[in-house]
Structure formats: C-alpha cells, structure tokens
Amino acid sequence: MKASAPGKIILFGEHAVVYGRPALAAPVPQVRAQVDVSESARAGIWIDAPNIGLRAELEALPPDQPLAALTRNLLAAIGKDPHPDLQITITSTIPVAAGMGSGAAVSVALIRALASALAWPLSDEQVSAYAYEIEKLHHGNPSGIDNTVVTYARPVFFVKGQPVQILDVGAPFSVVIGDSGVPAPTRESVSDVRRLWESDKGKWEAVFDEIGDLARKAQAAIEQGVWKTLGTLMDQNQALLTQLTVSSPELDRLVSAARNAGALGAKLSGGGRGGNMIALVEEGAGEKVATALAAAGCPRAIIATIEAWPQLANRPVPATT
C-alpha cells in the first residue's frame, strides 16, 4: 500500500501559534513524502528510509526514534497480533529541518500506508492525532499546525486545540519559497522563544497578540484577494519574528532580495534561524523573484500556488486518502 503527503509552509503566525494565537498554513504539493508498506518474505518489520540512511528491523530501533515510535503506536492500536511481516519504505523530497513539515509529512504518509495495508480505517482526525504524538518527539512542544495542514492537505486557519478550519482562499495566489541553505531544528528556536517569553511574559504576550492580529487580518485579505495588503502583513509579521530573534542574516538577505525584486511582501516561514522564507508575488513575477533569490545565495526556490478552495471553506473536510 502506498500513501503520500505534501510539504507545507506557514503563511502567518509561527511561534505565536504555540501560545494559542491563530496561524495560517498551506500545503506544498511540489514536495512530498511517500511511504510504501508491503508484506515481506523476510521475518519482522523492516524500515528502509534511504534519505536518512536508515535500514533496520523495528526491534533494533530505540523507543524515541520517530519512525519506530509511530510504527509501534499504530501496531499497538491496530492490535493485530501476530503482525504480518512487513517492508516499510520511506522516501521524501521535502527538505529536512527547513520548516517545510518533512517530519509531519512522513508521519502522515506512514500512518495512512500502514493503516491501509492492515485494513484499518482511520479518519483524518485520527491520522492527524497520531502524527501529533510524533511531532512531540521532533519538536518538544508543537502547536499541531504541521500535522494538521499536512493531513488535510488544504490551506488552514489553525488555533491550537481547536477544530481545524479550512481557509477560504478567494482566488489563487503565488508565493516563492526560498531555502536559506541553513538547516535549523525547530525544537531549538521554539525553546529559545520560550526562554524569551519566560524572561518577560508581559512583553512577549503583547508581541504574540500582534502576530495573532496579523494572522486574522491575513485571513480576511486571503478571502478577499487583496494581495498588496497581504504583502504588507507579511512584512509586519517578519518584523515581529525578528524581534522574537528567530530570523537570521541569511533569511534577512533573502527577504530583502525578494522585496527588491518586486515581491509584495516576504517573511521567514516555520521555526526560523534558517530553513525557508516565503515571498508573495504577483502573477507571473515568480521567476524574477526566484532568480533574485538565487543571486542572493538561495540554493533552491520553489514557486507554489495556493489554490482556492472556496467551496470547502468552513465545512467538514472530506477524506484525502
């Protein structure tokens, strides 16, 4: 059984989302994680993940290895004992530690492939919940936005602990996603922001409020298709992320290069300190901004279109398996 899941970008609200403020995220289908689960002639459950150099039998992996933990959690929940002998093969084109949700996408694809191989029906809500447990191993204290957007594979308006709301995208729009080339584990930036918050809760709560307000305004701008406003909101979000100390010289350079090349706005996306930035571009302007990013040292840029899903917005989400 095969399953795949997309990468993602956070459009607005990263970090503040951990503290209960809203955030917006969208899938990036150009990059994907793929998982193939098949019955195997070899005894045991073998996990093969060539991108990370992993080839091992489940029993040989430690309890906190995310792929092993997820496989064990699912097998325990499915409760088929003895399990069939299985070969699990995991590949991904999503850059790792780049703020593009690679861990969540691998989890979601693995959950869906294993559940279908063992004929175990799962709702999207359950898929997202199992993936969230593994996000805790990756991130420490995740908001749940990554597993949510990757599971539903739709643009989302997300508030921690609340039911997912599909973002009403009034008209499609394009962003250029630029890799800073610097890997940056989200766990570290999230724990640094926590230290900052603990040092002066009043000050940083006010910053989180401002970021949350920007996310709400961005939701309205996306619904109405007012791209100039959306670009300005991105720039304001970037300024607040810089205050939170999660930007970096490389990200700042790419953000400036994108703006100078005509982007309507630009900001880092995800945990920050490295990883990716995003720039909002007018139709047809993606290539020019991508070229400017490359000249500023960006090793890889993706031009992504955030599709309109007006017919689905605020309605129950259909299964995406």
Q: Which residues are catalytic?
A: 146
Instruction: Candidates 186, 236, 238, 248: give the one binding ligand PMV (CB under 6 A).
Output: 186
Using CB under 6 A as the binding rule, whether residue 270 contacts ligand PMV is answered as yes
Q: Is 64 exposed, middle or buried (0-12, 13-18, 19+ CB in 10 A)?
A: exposed
Using CB under 6 A as the binding rule, whether residue 280 contacts ligand PMV is answered as no
Using CB under 6 A as the binding rule, whether residue 143 contacts ligand PMV is answered as yes
Q: How many residues of this chain interact with ligand PMV, rule: CB under 6 A?
A: 17
How far apart, in whole angstroms, are the C-alpha atoms of residue 108 and residue 128? Answer: 7
Distances (CA, A) of 314 to 90, 112, 164, 243: 33, 24, 9, 33
Tell me whether residue 15 or residue 112 sits nearer to ligand PMV (CB atom): 15
Using CB under 6 A as the binding rule, whether residue 271 contacts ligand PMV is answered as yes
Q: Minimum CB separation from ligand PMV for residue 183, in Å?
A: 11
Q: Minimum CB separation from ligand PMV for residue 158, in Å?
A: 9
- Do 9 and 306 form a contact (C-beta atoms < 8 A)? no
| Residue range at the interface with ligand PMV (CB under 6 A); choices 11-19, 74-82, 109-117, 167-175 | 11-19
Q: Minimum CB separation from ligand PMV for residue 62, in Å?
A: 22
- Do 116 and 106 form a contact (C-beta atoms < 8 A)? no
3-state percent breakdown (helix, strand, coil) of the chain, nearest 5: 45, 25, 35
Alpha-helical (H) ranges within the chain are: 66-78, 102-117, 124-139, 145-152, 186-199, 201-224, 227-243, 249-260, 286-295
Specify the residue for token string 């991130």.
Answer: 139
Using CB under 6 A as the binding rule, whether residue 15 contacts ligand PMV is answered as yes
Specify the residue for token string 């956070």.
Answer: 10
Instruction: Candidates 3, 18, 49, 166: give the one binding ligand PMV (CB under 6 A).
Output: 18
Q: Minimum CB separation from ligand PMV for residue 196, in Å?
A: 13
- Within 99-138, the residues that bind ligand PMV by CB under 6 A are 99, 101
Instruction: Candidates 14, 168, 179, 250: give the one binding ligand PMV (CB under 6 A).
Output: 14
Using CB under 6 A as the binding rule, whether residue 190 contacts ligand PMV is answered as yes
The count of C-alpha atoms lying within 13 angstroms of the C-alpha of 247, restricted to the half-sphere facing its C-beta, is 21
- Contact positions vs ligand PMV (CB under 6 A): 10, 14-15, 17-18, 99, 101, 139, 142-143, 145-146, 186, 190, 270-271, 275
